[in-house]
Amino acid sequence: MSSLSLPPGPLFLLGAHAPLERFAPLAEALGSRLRVVVRRELELSAAPEWLRRAAIALGDAPAELARGAAVLRVVEPGLSGPAAPGVPAAVPRVPLHLDSVVGLVPGAALAAEVDCASVREALELLANRAWEERARQVEPLHRQLLRKARADRERPALLDGARELSRFRSVVGAVALARALKIDWAGQERVGILLPPGLGAALANLAAAFAGRTSVNLNYTLGPAALASVVRQSGIRTVLTSQRFLERVPLVLPEGLRVVAIEQVLERIGKVARATAYLAARCLSPRALERFCGATREVRADDIATLLFSSGSTGEPKGVPLAHANIDANVRGALAHLELSRDDRVLGILPLFHAFGVTILWIAAVEGLSIAFYPDPLDPRGVSKVIEAHRVTVAVATPTFLQLYLRKGEAERFASLRLVIAGAERLHAALAEKLGSEWSCEVVEGYGTTECSPIVCVGRGPLRASGYERAATPRGSVGRALPGVALRLAPPDAEEPGESSPALTRGLLWVRGPNVMRGYLDRPELNEKVLRGGWYCTGDIAELDEDRNLRITDRLARFSKIGGEMVPHGVIEQHLQSLLCSEEPQVLVTALPCPKKGERLVVLYTFDPARLDAVREALRQQGLPALFQPHRDHYLHVENLPLLGSGKADLRAARALAQERIGSVS
């Protein structure tokens, strides 16, 4: 956009915190009219000439505005109170987002008394508007991979043991596999894939994309009933798997599902087929290559790339269709927010039935990072050897897995790591500090949901550059939203996000962005509840500070209504865990129906039962209400807390275990 999209006369522009050099396009648009508020202690000797010319102190803004200038103030973290102190009320306060693709995006003028916290929210919504516009312009993921692989053919992409595939060889392998599966996948919009993290799973998903199919990666940690539900809902008729994998992981596959062994498919791909795939990948147009791979129509960015399913921890698995544009927005947002570079190598232990596993694959494929696979996240020695052998720099895992690696892995093998991202469950401060100390790396916490492709927020470490400083995300927070993602809090009983309320700093979290799914598979009644006007209801209770850092406090589903009061399970778990002085989770709270009070709390625990009375007494002395104190008979000792394959707590299994042990509660 040009300066013509800004009103004439004096303006007070408010921009998001970023290196000031990034505002050069604004200087080009406004010319000598622009003034930039800088801190007096900021060193500008190395700054570009336009910035040295435009720099003023905040106290000089009223005089410059009186001369008709457009004054820019960057709203830095930690700033509070009025956003435009001393600025005449008649001067418009205009939030301005600078987007590298869309250009300058100004918002509607804000109220004269607007504070910095409200400005940050307005800027977040402007970024969301720009990124949603971007989403209309993107290519399908595999077309981006093809274009970039042809330009940078030898760059390493997929690493698996001693095998290494470049970006272009990954395309060739995917094309050859899609061509070999053309008959097996004929007449099917969705195709099943049942493979652990590795080259086979990666190439199968890339092949499905080139063939214009929607990949359905089956969760091999599900029980027979949940797996049958996924197959039924998705409508898949064929599943690509490995005979060796099925021998190691016995599964009861639903009847009628045709099993195709990847070992047999690879035997069909001889020298001629490989050479043909190479020539096709190098010479054919994107549309012609899709037809070559079996696509029956041209693939678009709004087509569904993958169909994921929730773990079913609280009920029947829900189908989450994610379009190419959804995943693309998450990939680009994560790269920009985390400042990942093409030299980074990411640990690939998350299975591709996990949304973050899908995002990591496409980050590597599209943006040129490498991904080092290992099939078993529960093997700490194997994981540590992969990190050392491939010089992995970025690891993404659950705190449960990280705790395992810390306890049983060899610390020196983790020396190449510079960044660890923990997600899917709460990262305790003690574990974060220990990881950072022993592995000498930055440790941050992220938050997301499958419905958001999945990343919503990620913490960041400190950064200092010319004319720019950024403090680390506060510990206990999952950081700020990715670029293009907007957050809003609403009362827990609200059915829609409503209008923004600066006074509401804790509530039910709603998310908006180009990464958000269009709706659950064949669940119109549920979509009506969770999707309102472009906003998605996460079901999480959260807090936002003035800098828009998010802190998740609990799941709405993890509240019990006891005697008319809402009792959060997470609060009880946090208090118990702190009393146990353990980095490893030892308690899990669930609830059972109670005819007298609605529900009754049940605690599953793994610590020594001899400590139970002392722990209960210590909890009582914490000052929590009586409703937060589970009855002694409803503390159940277990050998291990029930977990899903991702490392998250299995809430459904916990409730079933409590029901089995206690029975009907009266």
In the predicted model, what is the mean pLDDT of residues 91-103?
85
Confidence band, pLDDT 50/70/90 cuts, at residue 4: very low
Q: How many CA atoms lie within 13 A of 100 on its CB side?
A: 8
Q: Looking at the predicted structure, is the pLDDT value of residue 475 above 50?
A: yes
pLDDT computed for residue 314 by the predictor: 53
Question: In the predicted model, is pLDDT for residue 666 greater than 50?
Answer: no
What is the distance between the alpha carbons of residues 111 and 401, in angstroms, rounded to a whole number?
Answer: 48
Q: Nearest to residue 209, comparing CAs of 193, 194, 220?
A: 193
pLDDT over 90 percentage in the chain: 61
Return all residues near 297 (Cβ < 8 A) that are at least 6 apart. 212
pLDDT at 665 over 50: no
pLDDT in tens, 591-610: 888 877 778 899 999 999 99
Better-scored residue on pLDDT, 467 or 21: 21
- Looking at the DSSP bridge assignments, the partners of residue 105 are 97
On the question of pLDDT at 629 being above 70, the answer is yes
Q: CA 511 to CA 489: how far, in whole Å?
A: 9
Distance between CA atoms of residues 569 and 580, nearest Å: 17
Query: What pLDDT score was predicted for residue 3?
Result: 42
* Local confidence band at 42 (pLDDT 50, 70, 90 cut-offs): low
CA distances from 664 to 481, 591, 593, 631 (A): 43, 11, 8, 15
Tokens of 511: 């998310």
Mean pLDDT of 309-336: 87
pLDDT at 313 over 60: no
Q: What is the mean pLDDT of residues 251-257?
A: 91
**Signed CA dihedral, 103, 330, 212, 173: sign only:** positive
- Could you report the per-residue pLDDT of 401-441, keeping only the tens digit for each? 899 999 888 889 999 999 999 988 888 888 999 999 999 99
Q: Which residue has the higher pLDDT, 253 or 643?
A: 253
CB-based burial of residue 80 (10 Å sphere; 0-12 exposed, 13-18 middle, 19+ buried)?
exposed
Smallest Cα–Cα separation from 487: which of 561, 554, 547? 547
Contact 457, 515 (CB under 8 A): no
For residue 385, the one-letter residue type is K
CA separation for the pair 458, 443 (Å, rounded)? 11
Which position has the token pair 């503390």?
635
* Cβ–Cβ < 8 Å for 239, 260: yes
pLDDT for 468 equals 65
Find out whether 519 and 527 touch, Cβ atoms under 8 Å: yes
CA distance 171 to 409: 34
- Rg for the chain (alpha carbons), in Å? 26
Q: Which of the given ranges, 88-97, 209-218, 555-564, has the highest pLDDT on average? A: 209-218
- Residue 315: left (phi > 0), alpha (psi -120 to 50), or beta? left
Note the pLDDT of residue 465: 62
Task: Tell me the pLDDT tens digit for each residue of 137-178.
Answer: 899 999 999 999 999 999 899 999 889 999 999 999 999 999
Looking at residue 2, its pLDDT comes to 40
Q: Is residue 528 pLDDT above 50, yes or no?
A: yes
Residue 466: its pLDDT value, please? 55
Q: In the prediction, which pLDDT does 325 show?
A: 97
- How high is the pLDDT of residue 49? 85
Across residues 438-464, what is the average pLDDT?
A: 92
pLDDT of residue 100: 75
Residue 214 pLDDT exceeds 50: yes
